[in-house]
Structure 1
């Protein structure tokens, strides 16, 4: 009897997480004649591309070491068994509050992969293929063929799971035009890319560089162009090497993401979910006319975040409120948005204690500065205030909102593609840089190495240069020969550089309006354009409409990615136990086998 075969395309954290769930569920669900698991990825297993150990030691993780785990716990709502394991800080012997280097995370992920392979049942063999997969074909009811770059014979598979991770993208129309202009005029244009993989050598010392994007890709860019070029931070002072360019940074918001919160939770947690849980998601999914995020979903999100904020304010800081929590909660639950505003105004005297999501999202809306220098002073004050607030437990409702954001994210995964705005909002509030990075940013601004452009940044190409302006200083503009897009590519199936995903879409796989691969949210099966799930193809990760946040799972937070991995692993094992299909040819020769 031919041994069943599973091909997993992508050996990074998501592929490793799926493999861990296969190992955990196999004793219950699989009694077949062994299993060949083919793991296809040109990058190291476990770490993959983004977390590989061979990258600059200057680059950090964006989460505290204690907030990173690859292992399930009893908070994960899944059918499979819990298989506990150490967090990053427990495994590495680190202070839990430290922001570990990405090399350390890569080593942790490599260890998780090796431990997972060792935990597979007897008869399960992992075959590693350090190549790219370029195409998947085969009949719906028969074995699939996975074609690898540089190979003339395909891998044969009963099932294929795509865990592709973050992907490069071909430039959109604006980026193509900017690149063309740069070529024609001898300029430098770096389109959206993974900063650690970018060639920054064309950015000359001392020259002005326009940078569009103020998120985590920008933080990496700054590190590589300052410390990476020999500069150093001496306390709150940056000592330049003289090799740095001058970075003029702006974005739509015009401010960096909020710093990570620097204190721990104490006391009772808000009982979440409260206003956006499984029942509310079921109701949204059952709407015959569908739902609109702003009209139908956002009001529930807003109410959930407010509930967590005020629960914490009443329970931890009662001297700053009027009345009792019981009375406030009862009225809050029944109130619409307008009534909630009046309720909050009466119960919370201090404006700084009221949750204003619009102001958090767009803090510079309507704010104007008289000069570029005044803008630098204003934004330094903004960052300093944010740093102070994020390390002060007197503002602990901020941490409650963070917990509510995690809860909301876990629920919204079930809704599929809800557009990009929510993901940007979540990242701005909940997935910002370590506080030390923002303190370094202040030092770089004082040293003149980084200059702020403010909100509403607009870029044009004219008179042989790039030009940037913004709404924060009307009439002001900066001209430069170099423009860097400090943001990740958008993972759309039409613009991805991944040939497998493009071919899958061209062959009939469905995509959402935002260009994400459509999958069955119950188990990750790829959907065709009629909504029919493919029986032998699955997909997990940011290229799908079941994507979660980009961050690693925090312990004891439910872990939507864990839940998805478990569901896909169980569906795959149940299918592979009695695969239906024609007899297979012999497998191709394998480059490496590991048990």
Structure 2
């Protein structure tokens, strides 16, 4: 490798990859002494900027579950970053600028856009009428977000200093070899590049097969008439293979499932129409060729609709959790915090306080005492996460004693309280629950229930940040912490309200039936069909010719990775798992790559930092919070941008150090 031109390689150019690039360029532009030169390699076989998930060519039928005014890739004043802050528009502001509404955007953001023209690419795909429909609290189309990402990426490229040479590679990284002073990265097109520093932002990778998936593959070999649509990004799944009038057994009730429903109903000619007489206010007009879905998931309950807050939701107050975080943040050491005892009581009390405060505002006659008295009773109640029902019953008793209402978080922690005899009975029950969820979501800020659930959802990030780097005891993290995060995800990471209405319409049309939780997959060799059953629906075996897994695998380096680059890293022991430490001192590997918290350089087996290799984002999901959350929210000092900045700071320091060393030689 020539020693006159040090280089940095960024592998992966989806949202996190381009955010990391932006932070790196901000560092390079802040250099007071102009280095001799630097080569920057940008590597991805998918669209540079949007990646696979946000590809601009995808159908307009798929939307995000994040507000338009709640998404940005730009850092903000006061952000916890080392490179200079670069202010730019949120996606909503970016759309408004396309429409000519400059006065709605700050001068600093307008200045950035003036320097980085918007172009006319968006107007070729989206009409003025479509763009006018985007409001601050709209859920933008995924393709629209893709255009924003591509513009962001191209804008960052335009800011790269003259002494940096950029080389783009429309290929996939397939391997990396340590050559002592540098790495050689192999690409899927047969080329290879040398890099002094590498930042891998690999995102949602292809995973090795689980034991059940190996059985599924073997079954497919023996019964070629059966189909399996493996877990993946919906626009990359073989949705076209789902035939007209076919019975499909489905696992997963999150956004991926909603997407597949839309792609095989509305996108095939079916129509959703407003109908006040329908339970969800929407009716589906079928083509007569729709598949029938027998739907299940681990919890057996669809993600709840997001609340209609008449705009962007206000931050939850969570005063008790804020106090706990302030008190515990300085405590050092792995396994130092017992979430069950030290954190969960504050999270639970905050949620019940939010319920009571909203109830007092919208229905004051429901309170049997003044609000301060009831709140004091909440604080006096014993909340012990180690006892039956996670100690919530004491808080429930306060609600029963001091109000005319009944409310318990247990209703959402134990979603299917009874086992039904069949899918029809379970589906009827779930439709009743969905009607209630929809009503609460429509009330938005005037729903006491949604206030409590939003408090839980808003508690997710500070709780996760507090527990990063293994700070919670493993026992408590796998007990109440996992339950609290799962409930927050159920309540606050779900689809827009209109998607829940559409789901209800498809149930009423007989296209979706629910099987329940913890589904048992099997195969009937007599009929040659997949079968699926659940205790929630009486153990009845439902049959289908296609098995659909409607989710995305999280990266897990404990399995043999299907992604060639990650497999290469594991095979070379260039990366090792982050470990959990149990009470008896036993270390258990997690699914995540172990990383240094300040630099995002991976750790080797001896615990030392790799001299060159960084990883950012999803592969570290067990060690750090928010790595699976995208895009970042404005005004939150996003962890997303913080970790991109940490890796960029480290990479720039290494590469520029090499540069200066070469100049001295």
TM-score normalized by structure 2? 0.79
Task: Give the structure 1 partner of residue 267 of structure 2.
Answer: 228
Contact in 1 for aligned 2:198/2:651 (Cα 8 Å): no
Q: What residue is the counterpart of 1:274 in the other structure?
A: 322
| 2:353/2:375 contact within 8 Å kept | no
Q: What residue is the counterpart of 1:588 in the other structure?
A: none
Q: Secondary structure at the match of 1:472?
A: helix
Mapping of 1:204-243 within 5 angstroms? 204-235=243-274, 236-243=282-289
1:568-579 maps to which residues of 2 (within 5 A)? 568-579=647-658
Q: How does 1:188-587 map to 2 (within 5 A)?
A: 188-235=227-274, 236-263=282-309, 264=311, 265=313, 269-271=317-319, 273-274=321-322, 277=325, 280-283=328-331, 286-287=333-334, 290=335, 296-313=338-355, 315-318=357-360, 319=364, 322-323=369-370, 325=372, 328=375, 332=379, 336-337=383-384, 342=394, 345-346=397-398, 349-350=402-403, 354=407, 356=409, 358-364=410-416, 366-392=417-443, 393-395=445-447, 396-415=451-470, 421=482, 424-463=486-525, 464-493=528-557, 494-508=559-573, 509-512=575-578, 513-544=589-620, 545-546=623-624, 548=626, 549-579=628-658
Query: C-alpha separation between the residues in 1 aligned to 2:299 and 2:336?
Result: 27
CA distance in 2, matches of 1:240, 1:165: 37
Change (3 A) 1:448 1:175: same
Describe the shift of the 1:266–1:15 C-alpha distance in structure 2 as closer, same or farther (beyond 3 A).
closer
CA separation in 2, counterparts of 1:4 and 1:326?
A: 66
SS in 2 for 1:8: strand
8 A Cα contact 1:272 1:404, kept in partner: no
Evaluate the alpha carbon distance shift between residue 421 and residue 405 of structure 1 in structure 2; reply closer, same or farther with a 3 A threshold: closer
| SS of corresponding position for 1:137 | strand
Deviates more, 1:338-347 or 1:506-515: 338-347
Pairing 1:72–2:75 present: yes
Contact 1:431 1:551 in 2 (8 A): no
> Contact between 1:413 and 1:560, CA under 8 Å: does it hold in 2?
no
**Cα distance in structure 2, aligned partners of 1:427 and 1:19:** 29
Output the CA distance in 1 between the equivalents of 2:31 and 2:396: 52
Structure 1 residues 253 and 350: alpha-carbon distance in aligned structure 2, compared to 1, 3 A threshold? farther
Structure 2: which 5+ residue stretches go unaligned?
A: 97-133, 275-281, 579-588
SS at match of 1:461: strand
Deviations 1:320-341 (A, max 9, x none): 5545559946973995527875
Secondary structure in 1 matching 2:619: coil
85, 91, 94: which one pairs with 2:94? Answer: 91
The 1-side partners of 2:659 and 2:327 are apart by: 36
The answer to whether the Cα contact below 8 Å between 1:466 and 1:483 also exists between their aligned partners in 2 is yes
Question: How many residues in Structure 1 have an aligned counterpart in Structure 2?
Answer: 574
Root-mean-square deviation (CA), in Å?
3.0
Distance 2:406 2:637 in 1: 29
What secondary structure, in the 3-state scheme, does the structure 2 residue paired with 1:406 have? helix
Shift of 1:575: 2.0
Q: Is the 8 A contact 2:321 2:350 kept in 1?
A: no
Q: Distance in 2 between the 1:131 and 1:221 partners?
A: 28
Deviation at 1:527, TM superposition (A): 0.7
Instruction: Look up the SS of the partner of 2:240 in the other structure.
Output: coil
> Deviation digits for residues 162-195 of structure 1, max 9, x if unmatched?
0011111132110121222133122112222222
Rate the CA distance shift 1:303–1:83 in 2: closer, same or farther, 3 A. Answer: farther
Whether the 8 Å CA contact 1:75–1:556 is kept in 2: the answer is no
Contact 1:361 1:428 in 2 (8 A): no
Label 1:52 to 1:569 Cα distance change in 2 as closer, same or farther (>3 A): same
Structure possessing the higher relative contact order (Cα contacts under 8 Å, 6 or more residues apart): 1
Deviation track 1:254-291 (CA, whole Å, cap 9, x = no partner) reads 110111121044598444852553653553x514xx36
Separation in 2, partners of 1:26, 1:129:
21
**CA deviations over 1:22-51 (Å, ceiling 9, x no partner):** 222334456322432111001111111111
Q: Matched residue of 2:25: which SS?
A: helix
Report the secondary structure of 2:548's partner residue.
strand
